[in-house]
Structure 1
Amino acid sequence: MSVRTTAEVIARFNRAFTDREAGLLADLIADDCVMESVQPAPRGERVSGREACTQWWTALVDDLASQFTPQEVIVAGDRATIVWTYRFGDGPDQWVQGVNVMRVTDGRIVEALGFGKTAGEVPLAAEPDAA
């Protein structure tokens, strides 16, 4: 089996969210993956390891009250930048913009750093009290 390119990995990662298919994440996450979410400010929550990162992203994929939408993807070698919007409600002000800076090694995500334009706290599916 050939190793997926960075572009292929990121396209499948994004498709997991747009198609709401958490199963697409299954073999995309490296054992030593580190993910930092956009919140809480200023540094975001740090999640480490394949299982923890997969659980965090799966909760976001499965949250039907929210929608992650990639706007643009820029790939350069083992790095990718995903420009996105995240809608967390139906109101006109219930969305944010941001970017994820991703790194892929041997066909798996090893790093995902999230940065967002937020004015205060935004409810994320991975938070225990988000509903």
Structure 2
Amino acid sequence: MTQELIMDRAANELSGQTAEIMRRFNDVFQRHDPSALAELVAEDCVIENTVPAPDGARYAGREACVGLWSAIATQAGTRFDVEETFVAGERATIRWRYFMADGNSIRGVNLMRVESGRIVEAMGYVKG
């Protein structure tokens, strides 16, 4: 087997693992059930949130990140539509639309990074 083929297989395997983590992450928000978050989020995870404008707040550590995402996932009357998830190796881009309880919506994107099977970084951006 050539070195290039071995590298391609490894990259495909890593992308597949990241895609599965993103599928499970998105399910948390689709189902309004944050119970899977603790096993998906790394101890040293960092989130750069979309609010407050213009730069958002920074959350560091599993407890803070799981707390933020749990609050978002369980907010009454809201929903996320996942428009696209693109995965390349340990990185993923999730394009979404968030519908608020008042009927308004915003579009945004999360830039995610995974290490050792857990989310270590999430940077959120919204259309202004």
TM range (shorter): 0.7 to 0.9
Task: Write the distance in 2 (CA, Å) between the matches of 1:31 and 1:104.
Answer: 12
Q: Which residue of 1 aligns with 2:118?
A: 108
Check whether the contact 2:76–2:101 (CA below 8 A) recurs between aligned residues: no
Check whether the contact 1:32–1:50 (CA below 8 A) recurs between aligned residues: yes
Identity of aligned residues (%): 47
Q: Which residue of 2 aligns with 1:75?
A: 87
- Report how many aligned residue pairs link the two structures: 114
The aligned runs of 1:60-99 (5 Å cut-off) are 60-91=72-103, 94-99=104-109
Which protein has the bigger helix share? 2
Check whether the contact 2:113–2:121 (CA below 8 A) recurs between aligned residues: yes
Check whether the contact 2:49–2:124 (CA below 8 A) recurs between aligned residues: yes
Check whether the contact 2:79–2:100 (CA below 8 A) recurs between aligned residues: yes
C-alpha distance after superposition, 1:13-70 (max 9, x if no partner): 0001001111021200001000011111221110000000000000011111221221
Letter in 2 for 1:81: T
CA 40–90 in structure 1, closer or farther in 2 if over 3 Å, else same: closer
Q: Which residue of 1 aligns with 2:42?
A: 30
Task: Write the distance in 2 (CA, Å) between the matches of 1:89 and 1:22.
Answer: 19
- Asked which structure has the greater CA Rg, the reply is 2
Check whether the contact 1:17–1:69 (CA below 8 A) recurs between aligned residues: no
Runs of 4+ aligned structure 1 residues displaced above 2 Å come to: none
Q: Secondary structure at the match of 1:72?
A: strand
Letter in 2 for 1:106: S
Task: Write the distance in 2 (CA, Å) between the matches of 1:33 and 1:24.
Answer: 15
Query: Which runs of 5 or more structure 2 residues have no equivalent in the other structure?
Result: 1-13
With normalisation by structure 1, the TM-score equals 0.82
Task: Write the distance in 2 (CA, Å) between the matches of 1:46 and 1:66.
Answer: 23
